[in-house]
A and B are shown apart, each in its own frame.
Chain A
Amino acid sequence: MRRKAAMRLLVAALIVLHLAILLAGFIAPYDPAAQNREFAYAPPTRVRFFDASGFHWRPFVYAISADFNGVHQDRSQKYPLHFFLRGENYKVLGVITTNLHFFGVERQGRIFLFGTDAYGRDEFSRLLYGGQISLAAGLLATFITLFAAAIIGTVSGYYGKFVDESLMGSAELFLCLPWFYFLVGVRAFLPLHLSPASTFLLLISVIGLIGWARPARLIRGVVLSARNRNYVLAARGFGASNFYLLRRHVAPETFGVLLTQAALLVPQYVAAEAVLSFFGLGIAEPVPSWGNMLSTLQQYNVLVSYYWLLAPALALVITSVTYWVLADTIHHWLQSHSI
Chain B
Amino acid sequence: MSTIAARWDALFERTGSIRAVAVLRIALGPITLVHLAPFLRDARNGIHYDDRFWEPYAPWMPKIPGSLWSVLLAVGAVSAVLMALGVLTRLTTAVTFLAVATNLLASQTHFRHNRTFLTILLFGLTLLPAGRVLSVDAWWRRWRGLPMLSDRVVIWPLILLRIQVSLVYLASGFSKLIDPDWFGGLVLWDRVVRYKYTLDPTPLPEWGIDFLTWRPLYWFVAPVAVLTELFIGLGLWSQRTRLAAIWAAVLFHLSIELSASVEVFSLVAVAALAIWVTPSTRDRTVRVRTTTPGGRALALAVRLLDWFGRFRLEEPASDEPWLTLIDRDGTRTIGQLAVLGVLTRLPLTFPLAAPLLAVDTWQARSRTGGSDDARTSMAGVR
Same complex origin of A and B:
no
Residues of chain A touching chain B, judged by Cβ–Cβ distance below 8 Å, are none
Residues of chain B touching chain A, judged by Cβ–Cβ distance below 8 Å, are none
